[in-house]
Structure 1
Amino acid sequence: MSLLRQTIEADIWGGRRTHAWLIKFLALLFLRRGQRSCIAWLRLAQFFKRRGHIRLARWCVATIERRFGCYFHINAEVGPGINLPHPIGIVVGEGVKIGAGCKLYQHVTLGGRRLGDWRAGNYPQLGDHVVVFCGAAILGSVRVGDGATIGANAVVLDSVPSCQVAVGVPARVVERPGPLAEARITRCTPAPSEPRYDAAARDTTDTGLGSH
């Protein structure tokens, strides 16, 4: 439960310790709308999945689909601090891995490039603090580096280096690391003494939800 609290506080309250967090969490689930409610349901689904309660996890995912029109597969890895400014029409496939502090706008798709990719695990991986604007699709076994930005309606079929901007169909890099991108990465990257989000490590150590 402490891992669930840490992740929710990172997602909703920017990592600040919050009194009566469980009551506020339940209010987000049942009394609120918008991105915070969507994220709360996502975290509850992942919590149940990691505890082995698959039916409850699927019920949470179905609730997200019904209330927000978004789909997050229960096996997708979503790092702490996720930001969904407009949680409508977002699709995150089974093998997708999303780092810490990422931002996904409406109608973003993260999934396989071809039919049957789910068998081979060919899904995108997003680093930390990646921004994906509305309507973009990131498909196949590609890596989007830390601090990268994907433009609206782009179709990403190849990896994007850290701190760069990719736009178009198919997407291509149009901006080398600039001061704004570098500032964002410098500001958001943990200090060397702080743990980073590591999906592989988390799978072997978590009993609840993911942490940094």
Structure 2
Amino acid sequence: MLIEKRDQRLIRAIHRYQQYRDARGLWGRLCCAWGKLGHEIWSLLSGSDINREADLATDLRMPHPTGIVMHRNARVGANCLIMQHVTLGEIEGGKAPVIEDGVYIGAGARILGGVTIGKGARIGANAVVLQDVPADATAVGVPARIMPPKKTPE
């Protein structure tokens, strides 16, 4: 009940903060504070560490948000599915990953540095991605390698 759809509530709180962070006046400050409070509460209840500055699509899905960590400069596109214990972080230089639309990221995956994950790509569980992944490709392993597409029998 209280923790149902906690991923969506966390994302809504982040978007509320981002919408009002530069607002002036009493109403803007109150709405910004409400977004910060919501972020803190839902981060605690979901067990995730998603920075309030991260650029997240509104339809991002995190069915089990426990242990998800996102860098402040991370960008996640529309209709992505991120499983538990995923890290989107930097290695050096402050660059964070860019996740395009429709990407699936398996449990425990680490996507590090200024890499781009192409539209519709799949990242396997516990993969450590250190290089770009093309659209509609699958990356697995430590360090991640791109798997060749399956050939369909004719």
| TM-score normalised by structure 1 residue count | 0.63
| Of 114, 120, 124, the match for 2:97 | 124
Higher normalized contact order (CA 8 Å, seq sep 6+, divided by chain length): 1
| Of 138, 141, 145, the match for 1:168 | 141
Query: SS of the residue aligned with 1:159?
Result: coil
Q: What is the alpha-carbon distance in structure 1 between the residues aligned to residue 110 and residue 34 of structure 2?
A: 29
Q: What is the alpha-carbon distance in structure 2 between the residues aligned to residue 163 and residue 178 of structure 1?
A: 14
Q: Quick check: 1:136 aligned with 2:109?
A: yes
Deviations 1:83-140 (A, max 9, x none): 11211111111000000000000000001113xx43xxx0000010000000001011
Deviations 1:16-36 (A, max 9, x none): xxxxxxxxxxxxxxx4314x1
Deviation at 1:177, TM superposition (A): 7.2
What are structure 2's unaligned runs of at least 5 residues?
Answer: 22-28
Query: Do 1:93 and 1:110's aligned partners in 2 also have CA atoms closer than 8 Å?
Result: yes
Alignment identity in percent?
33
| Of 47, 51, 55, the match for 2:16 | 47
Deviation at 1:82, TM superposition (A): 1.0
Query: Do 1:71 and 1:91's aligned partners in 2 also have CA atoms closer than 8 Å?
Result: yes
| Of 59, 80, 88, the match for 2:66 | 88
Counterpart of 1:60 in structure 2 is 38
Q: What is the alpha-carbon distance in structure 1 between the residues aligned to residue 85 and residue 10 of structure 2?
A: 18
Query: SS of the residue aligned with 1:94?
Result: coil
**Superposition CA RMSD, Å:** 1.8
Counterpart of 1:20 in structure 2 is none
- Which structure has the highest helix share of the two? 1
Letter in 2 for 1:51: Y
What are structure 1's unaligned runs of at least 5 residues?
Answer: 1-30, 180-212
Deviation at 1:60, TM superposition (A): 2.2
